[in-house]
Structure 1
């Protein structure tokens, strides 16, 4: 009892020392409490990414007559060089595209499948012998990124693919200075990589026997060669021929199971985005195997409360948000996976009737522990681009965990993802590992329309932070009347430790609050039973573009190295 009191007192003192005594986190002449900078306004095109050079590359492509999709592909290619711990051509991709010509949204699921030659029994036997499927060769699934680029380009592209690869090819040979956030991320993994026997990884990413630091130059001539092949040969340059053979042979030599046939047979899938209406705005996500519909479930629950009547940052605001998150994640733990391997009751999960039933479980005075409402039958980059014709793309791309599987095929210059870590080994679960199956994905792009017209293309990367992050952005815009930049800069909430992608976990979990929430809120949340913690670097990365009266508004994450630019 005494230790609990001491811990609680220490937490409150530490939070207060961080300046959590009021909501005015930023003092601006504009009167906007949270915005670190103004929104960027332009009429002809806009790009928002987590790296200034990526944003500038996208803008150059737009000025040259390229489409929003062209610019997004070019920016994504560069981010695989500049932010290689987060993303790259060894990972997967999802996108939502607004087509101005067709006046509708298109969804693309470019996530790869597990190796066809690795059975559940074989994987289980490998794990029982002490090998991990969370990282390393066993965690590798087919990389879907390049297939995603090609599918997007075939449908919405204007410029040639080699033109889109060219900026990154040039930068990869000449080198780029490492940014602050990337250097911090490298430093997090320095010790573990140093101890590993991984010469191909170190050859690509180490300088003088270590990761490069802030301001030091990172080159990757091997990646330049691979991107040139993709630009010249398209899909076949990656999924067939010498690149595919190198990938498959190297993975096999490391004890993995990905084959040339897995690569050749990979295909992305065009899917219908799904939505719910939240106070007159249609919020769009992609259906599973991702976690996007949790955003919609949370919004359905929250719609029944007068959130605008609860001041931003108040205990009432945070309590109702946290309880809706826990309810939605209970369903995620049971129902989300590859729809080809099980029935997902999407219509019922997204119904207003079901939301009302779940909402009724929330006690406004007490933190609750919940269960699924129906019977059962990590690190990323996000970017968004808009063009002069009104097309917009919301794109997210990832290696899964930081540095992915850490398997770098010799001479190719990129890391293969560890997305197989998204499977579970629980027999009968919809997300149970199986050969030729897409794992559960955390990465989710988002879009908002108003009366059938585009309103906001946005995303917020960061593993399990993405769902609560999306919901907080929507609430900040719609319930609390923030502008686009403020909606991303406002202090965030992260909750963990209860049910999620890997299955059900009992208990109330832990709530992490970013600086900017008042002491009174923290105290009241503790009184309701919430466990409050501190941490940094876990609150995601946001980029967004809004269109209003023919003008684009851009916003970029203040917690990242990024930039919104327009012309």
Structure 2
């Protein structure tokens, strides 16, 4: 029986503003983005600042050494553009370094056959070529207005101040303590005497911080020398040297060869509107399939059942043809933020280290927490997504820009591994098919079906909807909580006419939407 209170009700009203809005998983990062907008910056300028700031504020989720994808809507161009900056396996990777143990399955996100010493999950051999820094650098070069150095300055200052360890940060560090303890540099950064950091007593407050001077120096170098410093400069050389010293295959030539890509988006028409999605190696194509199935479903059928059927069929197709096979219950390390500026330009940006704390390895020369992108590949040969050198990773990120039949536009995405796409699909359907406000959509109960046999259903769904689900699926009711997340953690913005709106996951303790000016309202004002 659940031990959670059944009488407690949590709400987080959407924000409305005549100015730009940033919705992110950390309020301070959202504030930094809003300050950029208020200074006259573009949505992409704000995204640049938020990307680096949030990598300091919640380093276990993302950072300069991760990867991901973004969707950009240009009101001045009247079109959407996709920017892909997914990770790659190093060119010098040796498949023989990842022998199957012959015993069971991996113990993290993906139920691959287990590899000896979990080398594809933890440690330097799990590190892939990062893309986030080059991706946001490419977007800034194309659309940014403010100087790159100025946009990274807040992140540099945050690193100098150190990571504040409140109850949630302590909880996240405690959840990975055993793994972090295996890397001396990760242990030195995050742990105290091999254990999670102490915070406060039952009624006491604390200003505990984790010092990050090396990361501050790295961010300062990126600010002064540009995004390619991580790939072509001294920072890249130091990073590659650290990974090699720890036994990984990431090399300086891998970093120098990496390039993010600008792509034409995949367009999915549904419910009189359309979605603009990342076209390849993300969950974008799977989301398009879900929306097509939802649009074709009978209007007299249970909405929850139609969603479950669409998710199940689309994920079966994905698993059979794209090779992604992630374990739906495991925690992923991802963050998402969405931005709209006063002119209607939008960014939906997702960046990740993959697992929580990535490879659980810290580069001592750069202070960067490193990704474990190698785990995205199936270590067993002969499959669509089998491990190989110089290969692009298949991701579950799903940033989207949508247009409703009424002319409203939204940018949305989420963190949460394979839970991401089901959340984005349902939120898009709420906005497009049901004409919900952003506030209503983010508070509406959702389900999750991420490739397994069981539908996880928000316990606040109407009884009739849960009964309908049970006619064709196994159903497990769940409560929306802070930890762990039974569903994904989304963030989104919307524009109706000249008014902007922003919302973040109601259960996210740090997430919030922040506007650039004082002309704001809560409770969905104006919706």
Q: TM-score range by the shorter chain?
A: 0.7 to 0.9
Q: Which runs of 5+ in 2 are unaligned?
A: 102-113, 201-205, 325-331, 518-527
Aligned residue in 2 for 1:260:
252
Which of 122, 147, 171 is equivalent to 1:160? 147
Q: Deviations over 1:228-252 (max 9, x none)?
A: 0001011332112321222112211
Offset, 1:17: 8.2
RMSD: 2.6
Which of 554, 561, 566 is equivalent to 2:502? 554
Q: Is the 8 A contact 1:278 1:303 kept in 2?
A: yes
Offset, 1:190: 2.6
Q: How is 1:150-549 mapped onto 2 (pairs within 5 angstroms)?
A: 150-193=137-180, 196-207=181-192, 209-212=194-197, 213=199, 216-307=208-299, 309=300, 316-336=302-322, 378-450=332-404, 455-496=409-450, 498=452, 509-519=453-463, 521-532=465-476, 534=478, 536-549=484-497
Offset, 1:211: 3.4
Aligned residue in 2 for 1:565:
514
Q: How is 1:136-155 mapped onto 2 (pairs within 5 angstroms)?
A: 136-155=123-142
- Over 3 Å counting, the alpha-carbon distance change for 1:85 and 1:48 in structure 2 is same
Offset, 1:441: 0.5
CA distance in structure 1 between the aligned counterparts of 2:382 and 2:22, rounded to whole angstroms: 43
Offset, 1:112: 2.5
CA distance in structure 2 between the aligned counterparts of 1:181 and 1:511, rounded to whole angstroms: 28
Aligned residue in 2 for 1:100:
75
CA distance in structure 2 between the aligned counterparts of 1:550 and 1:383, rounded to whole angstroms: 21
CA distance in structure 2 between the aligned counterparts of 1:320 and 1:166, rounded to whole angstroms: 47
CA distance in structure 2 between the aligned counterparts of 1:450 and 1:44, rounded to whole angstroms: 21
Offset, 1:393: 0.7
3-state SS in 2 of match to 1:546: strand
- Over 3 Å counting, the alpha-carbon distance change for 1:208 and 1:57 in structure 2 is farther
3-state SS in 1 of match to 2:460: coil
CA distance in structure 2 between the aligned counterparts of 1:108 and 1:47, rounded to whole angstroms: 19
Q: Deviations over 1:387-407 (max 9, x none)?
A: 223211110100001000111
Aligned residue in 2 for 1:57:
32
CA distance in structure 1 between the aligned counterparts of 2:219 and 2:500, rounded to whole angstroms: 31
TM-score of the pair, normalised by structure 1 = 0.80
Larger proportion of helix: 1
Q: Deviations over 1:94-117 (max 9, x none)?
A: 111111221111110011211101
Q: Is the 8 A contact 1:276 1:284 kept in 2?
A: yes
Aligned residue in 2 for 1:501:
none
CA distance in structure 1 between the aligned counterparts of 2:173 and 2:127, rounded to whole angstroms: 21
CA distance in structure 2 between the aligned counterparts of 1:48 and 1:381, rounded to whole angstroms: 11
CA distance in structure 2 between the aligned counterparts of 1:320 and 1:15, rounded to whole angstroms: 28
Q: Deviations over 1:27-49 (max 9, x none)?
A: xxxxxxxx824321112211111
Q: Is the 8 A contact 1:18 1:515 kept in 2?
A: no
CA distance in structure 2 between the aligned counterparts of 1:16 and 1:248, rounded to whole angstroms: 47
CA distance in structure 2 between the aligned counterparts of 1:132 and 1:240, rounded to whole angstroms: 27
Q: How many residues align?
A: 485
Q: Deviations over 1:88-138 (max 9, x none)?
A: 111003111111221111110011211101244554479765453123222
Aligned residue in 2 for 1:7:
none
- Over 3 Å counting, the alpha-carbon distance change for 1:337 and 1:103 in structure 2 is farther
Q: How is 1:14-33 mapped onto 2 (pairs within 5 angstroms)?
A: 14=1, 19=6
- Over 3 Å counting, the alpha-carbon distance change for 1:134 and 1:555 in structure 2 is same
- Over 3 Å counting, the alpha-carbon distance change for 1:409 and 1:390 in structure 2 is same
Which is greater in Rg? Answer: 1
Q: Is the 8 A contact 1:290 1:336 kept in 2?
A: no
Q: How is 1:62-141 mapped onto 2 (pairs within 5 angstroms)?
A: 62-124=37-99, 129-141=116-128
Offset, 1:530: 1.5
Q: Which runs of 5+ in 1 are unaligned?
A: 1-13, 27-34, 311-315, 339-377, 499-508
3-state SS in 1 of match to 2:269: strand
- Over 3 Å counting, the alpha-carbon distance change for 1:531 and 1:554 in structure 2 is closer
Offset, 1:336: 2.5
Q: Deviations over 1:406-439 (max 9, x none)?
A: 1111131221111111111343433222211111
